[in-house]
A and B are shown apart, each in its own frame.
Chain A
Amino acid sequence: LAKTTQPISMDSYEGQEVNITCSHNNIATNDYITWYQQFPSQGPRFIIQGYKTKVTNEVASLFIPADRKSSTLSLPRVSLSDTAVYYCLVGDPLDGGFKTIFGAGTRLFVKA
């Protein structure tokens, strides 16, 4: 099972770019990297997913180096509403979800 390691918490200010790095040294060939966002009293929400190199959508960018042993979620110009827990997951989308492990996540605090 691919484990992930993320910082426990991060602080930022409104308007700044935030980069959260996740380590996953034993990532397998079929594993994808997926990031979720969770607000209090809500379920996790899918943000972005990638396999290698760079992926960008309207919310974030995901940078994955060639060895795929780490990944970085980049949130451009954060706002107060981006305060949440961010989870990095590594797993094979075809495995039925059972081997995709949620770690402790990173608590991001965005200050005014």
Chain B
Amino acid sequence: DTAVSQTPKYLVTQMGNDKSIKCEQNLGHDTMYWYKQDSKKFLKIMFSYNNKELIINETVPNRFSPKSPDKAHLNLHINSLELGDSAVYFCASSRPGQSRYGYTFGSGTRLTVV
């Protein structure tokens, strides 16, 4: 069983389009995240969300929005895609307080905006 699964794995789209990336975790974790990994391989947190609180990295454009239909899902919606949005996006989850287990990441979604 895949602990954190993301779909699609690859996404190629044109500038200006709106797209979504789905994420599901079956670990029973309380908190889910979205990270962006750029071409230089730096991983930057975009959002942190549990059923009580959404924390947004202030550097993330408001074209990006997380949507959580339930505790096990955190989808990423991106409006008006730009060339600079091309990157690999990782979903992750954790159970804060269980400090010895860190984050569990999905396998990533490679977004290419043309």
Whether the Cβ atoms of B99 and A43 lie closer than 8 Å is no
A97-B33 contact in complex given A43-B107, A44-B105, C-beta closer than 8 Å: yes
In the complex, the answer to whether A41 meets B107 with C-beta atoms within 8 Å is yes
User: Besides the contacts A32-B99, A49-B102, A102-B42, what 17 more A-B pairs have beta carbons closer than 8 Å?
Assistant: A34-B102, A36-B102, A36-B103, A42-B107, A42-B108, A44-B43, A44-B103, A46-B103, A49-B99, A93-B96, A93-B102, A94-B96, A94-B99, A96-B55, A104-B40, A104-B41, A104-B42
**Alpha-carbon gap, A101 to B102, bound state (A):** 13
- Cβ 8 A contact of B97, one of A36, A45, A93: A93
Which chain B positions have C-beta within 8 A of A103?
42
Known A43-B92, A49-B99, A49-B100; judge A97-B106 contact (CB<8 A). Answer: no
The contact of B43 among A32, A41, A87, A96, by CB within 8 Å, is: A87
- Min C-beta distance of B7 to chain A, whole Å: 14
How many residues of A are counted as interface, with CB atoms below 8 angstroms from the partner's CB atoms?
23
Give how many A-B residue pairs fall within 8 Å (CB-CB).
68
**Which 3 pairs, one residue from A and one from B, show the smallest C-beta to C-beta distance?**
A43-B105, A93-B99, A102-B43
Provided the pairs A85-B41, A97-B31, A104-B41 are in contact, do residues A43 and B108 lie with their beta carbons within 8 angstroms? Answer: yes
Q: How far is the CB of B41 from chain A (nearest CB, A)?
A: 7
CB contacts (< 8 Å) of B31 on chain A: these are 96-97
Instruction: Using CB atoms, name the residue of chain B closest to A43.
Output: B105
Interface residues of A in 5-63 (CB under 8 A from B): 32, 34, 36, 41-46, 49
